Structure 1
């Protein structure tokens, strides 16, 4: 159930990737990079509202926020089908992102209500494993929809999916926040909760590290269709190549759920950050000196992308480990900071697309190194769990 709720975010982005060029042609966009705004409007809406939804979930509970957000997601999904202009479509996508933020805050808080530490990392990894199935199948679903119906139904499908999730949660989701644990919805409590999160060194450190390195993920999502179509001329099989990337990501998430209990969140994630930087450097060097060979790029890129599967759950669990009493607020701030930072960086990188993959690979190296520097500062120079007890 949590994976399905998390999947609303991935579905809201990935199902329409094959349709971006068609949508751009429909609205007569002059700059082909403007079609990326369909993705980034949703991501923008997903960011800031989490700061509001977090304290609301701590006060009124997770389920009511979740269900109201699902209703909004449902309505905006079908409204996008009849958007009369590109501007109105972007406005509706922004609203849909806001509604999706409510579902994400609720789901993250539910998981934190029931687990912490390595246990939370293991559960999140399993959720992300199922969640990663969505990017594998979503572009294929979008392609299949357009084969039998108008492109507008890629948005209609989002409404259908959110309606099914609403029915499921209505009948099967219990309350995970006890009445006596609910926090008053007051300025003093909200500010106090924000201060508690933003002044904790481990929490803020892994929050920033995650936001930096996951900017690489959003950069690729924004420019992925152009990379496969314009750089390598393989746009007709885009969904298959995208599925291969997401497939390894799912495998790595599952692997993390199996290994994190034994090796710990720090040891795994720190090793993987170094691996991410190394693979990105090798890919960049090859493309720079030997040319843009598709299979060399793709194999190295798939391996690089797989690293995200062993960073996301671990970074999140490390950041939220000490925030159990304000899980909703902490999860909201974490989601806002990481999503806003990563989407902004991803937007800048994707917009720099110049017909080659060089800007993308340069960004991967720079953002990977930046994330590592933040981790070094956060851990006071002690990586791989050194000086952190069992972690």
Structure 2
């Protein structure tokens, strides 16, 4: 069981690794690739999210038809190829192509880790398992920028993409030899357009699945906005220099702590109570940050404190929202996971990248986004819960 958790976390960590290790290098990449508009360097990050958004649509149906492992292998190969292209990039266009293919490949572990967990676990046990997996996985964004910074001390930003290539090859080897297929042949669904449409339609018209997919996308938009503009915020506003990786990692650890905390609390209090309380607290923290931003000069201490509280609260929601959205979808777990990943990614990428491009040398866009997105997610959750019978337990019996 421990190896299963670590393997699932490593596969999920490829996503964080492909995003966060490169953050300290964005300034040098911008110079080497002659990027003239400052905010355009954010596309080196957001292109990965775009690839993931498309990839999540593909891998769910493929995994339901082929099994989880062949679909996972396909994505890992694409991730490695994209890493090679980005390593060889001599222009922004080639870099974005490689990063897009990386994201397209990373969509595979994003979809299939939750589908594999759903194959093996149910209800609160599934939520607890997802929290543990995501808790281990979140250590990577806490450490990845430091790794990227260290690589640049001894080489160039190209070394970061060598790391990606090695990680992709390790993932291919590890899952091939140690991961058991979780979807037996008798439960597989052939790739038939009518059935695919029916599966997506069922996910979209199941209130709890649709509602918590929207919530997940809105909340994740805050994270995308922060990640795409973090290098600029810490370097331009707070002028932290090489300490960027430390400050970024400290906030990432707040999310990791939240995942571990949720894994302990969810069995006692339930997913819905924890998620509602966390969204409310995140909105309050964002309101404080926004008020300080408007009324006082930027303070690194205040920003770190508020951001840590906000992301800790958000971290309490991620595993729960995923589990609640997937709970009634056991009979079409791959399709439903693809729906959840694709729709939430499109929402988060659209909102988060748009807000990130509004960066103007101040914290106003980020702080206002934290508040608005947190409030939106809370309102969507209230709407979602109104359509769920009160007596319905969280560990609903899944379809089989």
Which TM class, normalised by the smaller chain length? over 0.9
1:270 is matched with which residue: 269, 273, 276? Answer: 276
- Per-residue deviation, residues 345-368 of structure 1 (Å, max 9, x unmatched): 110111111111011101111111
2:376 corresponds to 1:363: no
Q: Give the alignment's Cα RMSD to 1 decimal.
A: 1.4
Match of 2:141 among 98, 115, 135: 135
* Equivalent position to 1:95, from 95, 98, 101: 101
1:4-40 deviation line (CA, Å, top 9, x unaligned): 0001110110010000010000011111111110001
Residue 144 (structure 1) aligns with: 150
1:168 match: 174
Give aligned pairs, total. Answer: 389
Go from structure 1 to structure 2 and tell me whether the alpha carbon gap of 1:294 and 1:381 turns closer, same or farther (over 3 Å shift): farther
1:313 counterpart = 2:319: yes
- The equivalences for 1:170-189 within 5 A come to 170-189=176-195
Shift of residue 387, structure 1, vs aligned partner: 5.1
The answer to whether the 8 A contact 1:225-1:235 is kept is: no
1:253 to 233, 251, 259: 259
CA distance in 2, matches of 1:127, 1:223: 27
In the superposition, the TM-score normalised over structure 2's length comes to 0.95
**Residues 320 and 331 of structure 1 are in contact (CA less than 8 Å); yes or no, is this contact kept in structure 2?**
yes
Counterpart among 235, 257, 272 of residue 241 in structure 2: 235
1:186-215 residue CA offsets vs partner (Å, 9 max, x unmatched): 112111111111110010001001111210
Say whether residues 1:303 and 2:305 are aligned partners.
no
Displacement, 1:52? 2.0
Whether the aligned pair in 1 keeps the contact of 2:271 and 2:394 (CA below 8 Å) is no
Could you tell me how far apart the structure 1 residues matched to 2:331 and 2:218 are?
27
Contact persistence 1:121–1:257 (CA under 8 A): yes
Shift of residue 96, structure 1, vs aligned partner = 1.2
* CA deviation after TM superposition for structure 1 residue 380, in Å: 1.4
The 10-residue stretch of structure 1 (11-20 or 366-375) with the greater mean CA deviation from structure 2: 366-375
* TM-score relative to the length of structure 1: 0.97
Q: Which secondary structure does the structure 1 equivalent of 2:386 belong to?
A: coil
- Which of residues 291, 301, 313 in structure 2 aligns to 1:285? 291
Q: 1: CA distance between counterparts of 2:219 and 2:111?
A: 21
Give the CA deviation at 1:284: 1.1
After TM superposition, where is structure 1 displaced by more than 4 Å over at least 4 residues in a row?
Answer: 385-391
